[in-house]
A and B are shown apart, each in its own frame.
Chain A
Amino acid sequence: MSRRWLWVFTLLGVLNGILFLVALWRDYDREWKRHQTAFFALEGRKARTAREEEAVKARRHEFIQVAVAGSTRMDRCMMCHLGVEDPRFADAPQPFRTHPEIPKHPFERFGCTVCHGGQDMATTTQDAHGRVPFWEEPLLPAEYRQATCGGCHFGADLPGAPLLSRGRQLYAQRGCVACHRIRGVGGALGPDLTFVGSRKRDPAWHLRHFKEPQATSPGSTMPPFKHLPEEELKALTVYMLSLREAPQALAASTPLLASIAPVAAPSPRTAVPPRAAAKETVTARVPSSPGPVPSDRLSRARELYAQKSCPACHIIGGVGGKVGPDLTAEGGTPGRDLEWHVRHFRNPAAVVPGSIMPPLADLSEDDLKALAAYMLSLK
């Protein structure tokens, strides 16, 4: 009787022992150790002198990490990417290849993930490259990598990051600034974009959103930018991705960056100050034209014109953006009466096929009529 229990006890003991060995093996057999072994072998082949050979033989598996200055990041990428700082590995296969030197960005201070993305503390390829569930910042594809420069280099024209600079330029040129605000500059009609890169990290999302805003953000009133060439959309995406929280201590450590002011207001033609200011400045600049329309209605219409960020896309008397048609002489266009304009405001695409103008659906009948009267007054 008790012998039977002993046997069961022993059997279970052996099974538990096996489980322990399995756990031990899984704990010991880590991917990074295999990479390090392969690297040491490669290093041995590259050794020229007897002393170098000795040094290679003495190498053991080691845990390597970089505490990124001024952040909680703990980059362990170099546990596998062992050759990044060694010029002898310029032609080595990944993960051992030499990293091109970036002036003023020493790896031991900046680490890797600040620029490349990925999961800082992970020690397996899949986890480290961040393409796993519940990691928000996967490795950034090479074509969008310039985005991370923008996390610290706010306003400078960056010769090393042409795509980013182009994206910033386009942001101002295409009238985005009229509705969106970045670090306190811009309109307030659309969402604040100061940290949009931290919220939406997927480049594909941004590309799709530019082409078809409603597809990714239901209910969005942003006009689609399908007509822009792919190259411009990509540059804009890089700029969007660059708008994110970066370790500020890292940026402040470099005197060059600390002195740079946030994005300055771009050229006066496209700049629309924040909403409150817009009321005064833009309406003040809209040319007044006396006519039969009651003047209080007209002033209300001008207010609306500024509030709804119309100048972002349309020019009146030389003021405004170039996305939509010039409205300076809109009242003179044949075949367009008050009723036509109201219909057009409600659903632009139904009246002018192919129009990307967002509908002004939230305005009352009176307001729409006032705006329409204002349009007709422009001659």
Chain B
Amino acid sequence: MRNGWTGGILDRMTASQPWKSVFRHGYPATELDRMATMFTNFFLHLLPAKVHPNSLRLTYTWALGMVTFYLTAILFVTGFLLMFFYIPATDWAYHNMKDLQFAVSFGLLLRNMHRWAAHGMVALVFLHMCRVFYTASYRPPREFNWVLGVLLWLLTLGLSFTGYLLPWDQLAFWAITVGTSIASYPPWVGETLRVLMLGGQQVGQGALLRFYVLHVAILPAVLGVLVAIHFWRVRKDGGLSRPEGASPAAVSSPGAEGRFVPGPQKTYALMEVVQGTTPMATTQAPEEEVPAWPQLLFRLLVLFQLVLGVIVLLAIFFDAPLEELANPTHPPNPAKAPWYFLGLQELVSYSALVGGVVVPGLLVVGLMSIPYVDRAVKGEGIWFTSAQGKRIALWSFLGTIPFTLGLLYLNTRFGLRRFFPDATQGVVDLLNPATLLLVGIAAFSIIVGRCTHSRRMAAIALFSSYVSGYLLLMVIGTFFRGPNWDWVWPW
């Protein structure tokens, strides 16, 4: 390949001392060299030197975590570039959006990419969480990493929510007005929390500046640190969780020369051995792992191309929404929160207590406590744990839909306030679709747990019903709610 004088120049360049001071190795042709490179390269050392073929299976992880990471990277890059053109002042923010659209080179493309990647990230963090839950990958020693994951999910919502205000159009202004009013429902602290967020009684210059600083400085910094810990814990907690059993044959034959053959006894670096109180080297059988270069690395590179391509494609053909300039005296009817909070807004329309306090609270506490409630150690890495789990997940998901719709129908036809207009708020908080839905789902999962004698099955029932119910409410809030939050058809 390297012949002629160009090859000579290349060879001399890569053999020079400055080059070698930067790249300690040439292109690694043998597996041993590749593993050495994985160790010594700053970026590659985030990855393991060897991976188990079972963790590589696409149908196991669907690469959701990595796609989320790529979207984060795209968001950071486009976000930094957008910062060059944005002034967080109520007089200028909307103008800056128009400038991006009409004057800045690639301005609209950048904004579109940022917007679609942000929406995608909210969705993919959630899907990644579903994958980890359904494969029971939160089990020891990965409990804390699950908790970190839940925090990262909250951070993602926070980043998306704070970014939502920055265009300063009607959509942004009223979505944040509604969203922050949901935050004001918790008793005692709610109102203080809202004022603290907004830097005033209503969305204005104070709120814009606070949201901006949170969006471009504080939250990304916290996200960066947590992502680093999240990745580090993945490595230290034994790599990606994986199904046990034989690995698929196709993966286990790397194509490079100088094949690395696992010895009868696996050898370990010192750091791996000193983890416990006794050396573990002798207790483990050799694993049929494959080198991360090329098996993992090439997959990741292809995945990045794919993610970037999809985002650019979306950005070229679909423009990010921009409505009229924010007008505090002219509320749209209905004013809607960002789409991922519309399930909450739907619940708030029945009971502020349930939608604004109980559900968000239970969601966060419940999710974080999953690995500490389901304390089984074995059986991770299998989707839905068993055939029974799969059935339970499916029927919980499907069953919640008619249950929820039934409750909403009953509320519309025979709502409490219709017969008892003077019912106190306490009674309404007790008897409304939101509360009944929560109680129904909880009761159902307890019954499942009793019948199967398995906390895992109860958790699957609970999680599936919760997801199904929330998604349904989100769809209803998005498409089936019109002026005064009344029912409408989306067409």
**Residues on A facing B (Cβ under 8 Å):** 1-3, 5-6, 8-9, 12-13, 15-16, 19-20, 22-23, 26-27, 63, 72, 74, 76, 119, 121-124, 127, 134-136
Report the separation of the CA atoms of residues A26 and B169 in the bound assembly, to the nearest whole angstrom.
Answer: 25
Query: Is A27's CB under 8 angstroms from B106's CB?
Result: yes
Query: Is B299's CB under 8 angstroms from A5's CB?
Result: yes
Please, which residues of chain A bring their CB within 8 A of the CB of B99? 121
Query: Is A5's CB under 8 angstroms from B302's CB?
Result: yes
Q: Which of A2, A3, A22, A63 has the most CB atoms of chain B within a 10 A radius of its CB?
A: A2
Report the separation of the CA atoms of residues A6 and B298 in the bound assembly, to the nearest whole angstrom.
Answer: 7
How many Å from the CB of A192 to the closest CB on chain B? 13
Please, which residues of chain A bring their CB within 8 A of the CB of B324? 134-136
Query: Is B309's CB under 8 angstroms from A16's CB?
Result: yes
Does B92 belong to the interface (CB within 8 Å)?
yes
Please, which residues of chain B bring their CB within 8 A of the CB of A124? 102
Report the separation of the CA atoms of residues A27 and B315 in the bound assembly, to the nearest whole angstrom.
Answer: 12
Known contacts A5-B299, A23-B106, A122-B98: A134-B305 contact under CB 8 Å: no
Does B228 belong to the interface (CB within 8 Å)?
no
Q: Tell which of B248-256, B432-440, B469-477, B480-488 binds the partner.
A: B248-256
**Residues on B facing A (Cβ under 8 Å):** 91-92, 95, 98-99, 101-103, 105-106, 109, 169-170, 250, 253-256, 294-295, 298-299, 301-302, 305-306, 308-309, 312-313, 315-316, 322-324
* Tally of contacts, chain A with chain B, CB under 8 A: 77
Other than the given A16-B305, A22-B316, 11 more pairs (CB < 8 A) read: A1-B253, A1-B254, A2-B294, A2-B295, A12-B305, A23-B106, A23-B109, A74-B95, A76-B103, A119-B98, A134-B322
Interface pairs (20), CB distance under 8 Å: A1-B250, A1-B255, A1-B294, A2-B254, A2-B294, A2-B298, A6-B298, A8-B302, A9-B302, A15-B305, A15-B309, A16-B312, A26-B316, A72-B91, A72-B95, A74-B95, A119-B98, A121-B98, A121-B103, A124-B102
Report the separation of the CA atoms of residues A35 and B263 in the bound assembly, to the nearest whole angstrom.
Answer: 73
Please, which residues of chain A bring their CB within 8 A of the CB of B309? 12, 15-16, 19
B293: nearest chain-A partner, CB-CB: A2
B91: nearest chain-A partner, CB-CB: A72
Query: Is A5's CB under 8 angstroms from B312's CB?
Result: no
Report the separation of the CA atoms of residues A76 and B315 in the bound assembly, to the nearest whole angstrom.
Answer: 25
Please, which residues of chain B bring their CB within 8 A of the CB of A119? 98
Secondary structure at chain B's binding surface: helix, strand, loop or mixed?
helix
B113: nearest chain-A partner, CB-CB: A23
Please, which residues of chain A bring their CB within 8 A of the CB of B295? 2
Report the separation of the CA atoms of residues A122 and B102 in the bound assembly, to the nearest whole angstrom.
Answer: 6
Please, which residues of chain B bring their CB within 8 A of the CB of A16? 305, 308-309, 312
Please, which residues of chain A bring their CB within 8 A of the CB of B253? 1
Please, which residues of chain B bring their CB within 8 A of the CB of A63? 103
Known contacts A134-B324, A135-B324: A121-B102 contact under CB 8 Å: yes
Please, which residues of chain B bring their CB within 8 A of the CB of A9? 298, 301-302, 305
Please, which residues of chain A bring their CB within 8 A of the CB of B312? 16, 19-20, 23
Please, which residues of chain B bring their CB within 8 A of the CB of A13? 305
Please, which residues of chain B bring their CB within 8 A of the CB of A26? 109, 316
Report the separation of the CA atoms of residues A346 and B312 in the bound assembly, to the nearest whole angstrom.
Answer: 65
Query: Is A5's CB under 8 angstroms from B102's CB?
Result: no
Report the separation of the CA atoms of residues A5 and B312 in the bound assembly, to the nearest whole angstrom.
Answer: 22
Please, which residues of chain A bring their CB within 8 A of the CB of B101? 122
Please, which residues of chain B bring their CB within 8 A of the CB of A12? 302, 305-306, 309
Which of B95, B109, B323 is the one whose CB lies under 8 Å from A121? B95
Query: Is A134's CB under 8 angstroms from B323's CB?
Result: yes
Query: Is B103's CB under 8 angstroms from A5's CB?
Result: no
Report the separation of the CA atoms of residues A1 and B306 in the bound assembly, to the nearest whole angstrom.
Answer: 19
Report the separation of the CA atoms of residues A15 and B316 in the bound assembly, to the nearest whole angstrom.
Answer: 14
Report the separation of the CA atoms of residues A72 and B98 in the bound assembly, to the nearest whole angstrom.
Answer: 12
Query: Is A5's CB under 8 angstroms from B294's CB?
Result: yes
Known contacts A72-B91, A123-B102: A2-B109 contact under CB 8 Å: no
